[in-house]
Amino acid sequence: MTRRLILDVDTGIDDALGIMLAVKSGFFQIEGITTVNGNVSLQQATLNTCKITEFLGASSIPVIPGADKPLIRKPVFEHRVHGNDGLGGALLDMQPSKRPEAGFGPDFIVETVLRYPGEVTLVMTGPLTNLALALHKCPDLIHHVAEVFFMGGVAGGLGNITPTAEYNAYVDPEAARTVLHAGFRKLTMVGLDVTRRALLRADDIAKLTDPRIREYVADSTSAYFDRYEERNGVRACAMHDPLAVAAAIHPELVTTKPYYVDVETRSELCDGQTVCDFQNRLGRPANVEVCMDLNEQAFIQLFVDTLNRPEAG
Ligand code: BDR
Ligand code: CA
């Protein structure tokens, strides 16, 4: 059986690194990359995704624009972290010949999953709007998707956009709730408390052998390193989205446990906070495989080795 992948991104410095990992690994047949409003506008996320795929020599991968806003809320961009362009100023002058497809991301997800029942893995690294819209259109999708991995939420720890909420869950908590309660056979949450421990450092970047790729990664992450150091006292780039991609490729890099997880949507202070019922106080069945830990060294090694592969994937 062919392992097929749809990546859903709001490209984003770390989304771009996740795309690079997925493409260079060659592990999945990438059916398409759907884009969503998030770190930057839909239009910018789509442009960035076209740039990255072309940069990787992977222009044949379809890029399909999805939702240009959350289900019911206003967009909340993250220019502070990702820069005005979303790629930290890297590839700023690139004018890609690659163009996005004419379709709509959520429709593409539905059509592709139904075309290859049981074969398509979804890796979601932006707000979950596109998947929620796909589920509204086709609730049956849950029976036909192989697996879903999403970078979002925080199981036990601090938020990164409010004191309690992780960015992707905060931007569209109604979409996150739809996905959490949809009933997927396997839904893995790669949350912030774990991705914060997946740190790429300058000496890891120095190990990238292709000078184009090394320069791109150094360029796009340089301001990100500064901001991460200001806030966390460590000079590194947190690899949130690449870890979700890596978990889909090599599940043994992370450990997971099944829990009931929900998300707050009606609180002035805590909207977007994911609540993981570690002690089963609500008495509800587990709906999520929650990432609890990772092998950081093996993950960074995988990232570097994969980007050092000579072939495009
Ligand atoms: C997530 O938020 C975005 O800024 C990143 O791209 C990542 O998907 C981390 O909270
Ligand atoms: Ca992202």
Q: How far apart are CA 258 and CA 280, in angstroms?
A: 11
Residue 263 β-bridge partners: 274
What pLDDT is attached to residue 166? 98
Amino acid at residue number 46: T
Phi, psi of 101 (to 5 degrees): -75, 170
| 3-class SS string, 48-105 | HHHHHHHHCCCCCCCEEECCCCCCCCCCCCCHHHHCCCCCCCCCCCCCCCCCCCCCCH
Q: How far apart are CA 31 and CA 94, in angstroms?
A: 24
Q: Which residues line ligand 1 (CB under 6 A)?
A: 12, 14-15, 39, 78, 81, 125, 151, 160, 166-168, 192, 240-241
232 pLDDT band, cuts 50/70/90, is: confident
What pLDDT is attached to residue 231? 85
Q: If you average pLDDT over every residue of the chain, what do you get?
A: 97
Predicted TM-score of the model (pTM)? 0.98
Contact indicator for 169, 274 with CB cutoff of 8 Å: yes
Taking the domains of the chain in order of start, what are their residue ranges?
Answer: 4-307
Distance 115 CA to ligand 2 centre (A): 27
What pLDDT is attached to residue 69? 98
Q: Give the residue among 112, 191, 159 at the shortest CA–CA distance from 271.
A: 159
Query: Closest ligand 1 atom, CA of 166?
Result: 10
Task: For 53-76, write each residue's pLDDT tens digit.
Answer: 999 999 999 999 999 999 999 999
Q: Is 240 a catalytic residue?
A: yes
Q: Compute the average pLDDT of residues 182-195.
A: 98
What pLDDT is attached to residue 313? 43
Query: Closest ligand 1 atom, CA of 161?
Result: 10
Is residue 312 over pLDDT 70?
no
Task: For 279-305, write each residue's pLDDT tens digit.
Answer: 999 999 999 999 999 999 999 999 999
Q: How far apart are CA 29 and CA 1, in angstroms?
A: 11
Distance 150 CA to ligand 2 centre (A): 10
311 pLDDT band, cuts 50/70/90, is: low
Q: Which residue has better confidence, 17 or 311?
A: 17
Distance 282 CA to ligand 2 centre (A): 30
Task: For 234-265, write each residue's pLDDT tens digit.
Answer: 999 999 999 999 999 999 999 999 999 999 99
Q: Give the residue among 147, 153, 96 at the shortest CA–CA distance from 123.
A: 147
Task: For 116-147, write each residue's pLDDT tens digit.
Answer: 999 999 999 999 999 999 999 999 999 999 99
Instruction: Please give the CATH architecture assigned to the domain spanning 4-307.
Output: Alpha-Beta Complex (3.90)
